Amino acid sequence: MKLTGAAAARFLAHPAPDLPGVLLYGGDAMRVALKRQDLIALMIGAEGEREMRLTRIDAADLRKDPAALADALRAQGFFPGPRAVLLEAATDTATPLVQAALADWRKGDATLVVTAAVLAPRSSLRKLFEDHPGIACIGIYDDPPSSEEIAQSLAKAGLRNIGREAMADLVALAQALDPGDFRQTIEKISLYKHGDVSPLSCDDVAACTPATIEAEVDDLLHVVAEGRVADFAPMMQRIAGQAVLPVSLAIAAARHFRTLYAAKADPGGPAAGLARARPPVQGPRRDRMLRQAQAWPTARLEEALRQLVETDLSLRSSQRAPAMAVIERTLIRLARLAKG
C-alpha cells in the first residue's frame, strides 16, 4: 500500500506490528537512511541491533546467494523479540526475490525493510509494495522537516518545552541544513539544554547552530553593522551562492542587533553586556561587536531592530516580493544607518 503525507508520517512514527515489509525510497540517500534508522529502531527497539535481531543484506549480494533473503526472514535469533531484515540499495532486479520472500512470509518472521534510490512509477519493485495491501511503500522526498516533525525529534531528545520563536528558527535552520547536519544540531541542542527546564529559546538555537553557516553570515553582519556599504554587494552575492535562506538571514541579523542593543543598554557598559550575553561573545568577534556597540547610538539600534522585525514579518507573510531582495534591501539600509 502506498502511504503519503500524514499517513506516511503516522506509520513512520508508529509502525504496525507484525508487518511483512516496507519499502523506503528517495533521491536523497541521507534522508532515506535517517528514516530507515528511526523506523528500525521503533520496530526492534534500541537494543535490537546489539542483540543481533537485525540482519543487513546488500542487494548486490543476492546475486551470489538468492536464498539469503528468505532464509534471513525465517531465521530465529538467540535473543527474544521482534526482528528485522534490511535489504539496502535495492533495484528492480531484486523484485522477484523480494516477491518470493514476502509470499513465504509467516507471522513471527522478521519484517523486511527495503531501501532504494529514486524509483519511477513503473518500477516493478515500487509496484510490488504499492499494490500489496499488507506491506507499505513510502517515498522520502527532499522536503525539509515540518514543525511537527521537528517537535517529534526534540521530544525524542527529551525537549518538549519549545518557545514559538525558537521553533520558527529551527524550521528555517532545517531548510538551510542537510538532514544529517540538522539531526546533529538537534542532538547538540538536547545536550546544551540538559537539566535546563526553561523553554527552548532563540539564543539556545543560535548557540548550537553549525559554525559553517554562522561564519559566512557573521561576516556579512559585521559588514552591515560597521557600515561598510562598498563591501556589502560582493559579500551578499557570496551568501546568496551558499543557499542561505532569507528568513535565516533575518533571524541572524535580528540576533546580532539584539546583542548590540543589550550590550549598549547594560549598566556595566558594552563590554559587560557582551560578557553577559547567552552564549557570551568572546574572542575576535567580541572585539568587533564591542566597537560596533560603542559606535551605534541607542536610538539607531532601536530603529534597526524595528526594521528587522518588520522585515521578518514580511518574509513570513504571503507577500509576493522576492524574499532575498527584501532582506537585502533592509540590510543595505542598516549599513547606511550605521554611517548616520
For the chain, where are the E strands, in sequence order? 2-3, 21-25, 54-58, 84-90, 111-116, 136-139
In the sheet where 21-25 sits, what is the strand order? 2-3, 136-139, 21-25, 111-116, 84-90, 54-58
Domains of the chain: 2-139 (3.40.50.300), 147-208 (no CATH), 211-338 (1.20.272.10)
pTM beyond 0.85: the answer is no
Residue with the bigger pLDDT between 328 and 161: it is: 328
Do 25 and 117 meet the contact criterion of CB atoms below 8 Å apart?
yes
- Is it the case that residue 214 has pLDDT exceeding 70? no
All 3 cell numbers of residue 154?
Answer: 526534540
Render pLDDT for 37-51 as a digit per residue (tens, 0 to 9).
Answer: 989 999 999 888 888
pLDDT tens for each residue of 279-311:
677 777 888 999 999 999 999 999 999 999 999
- pLDDT per position as a tens digit, 43-88: 999 888 888 899 999 888 888 898 999 999 998 878 888 999 999 9
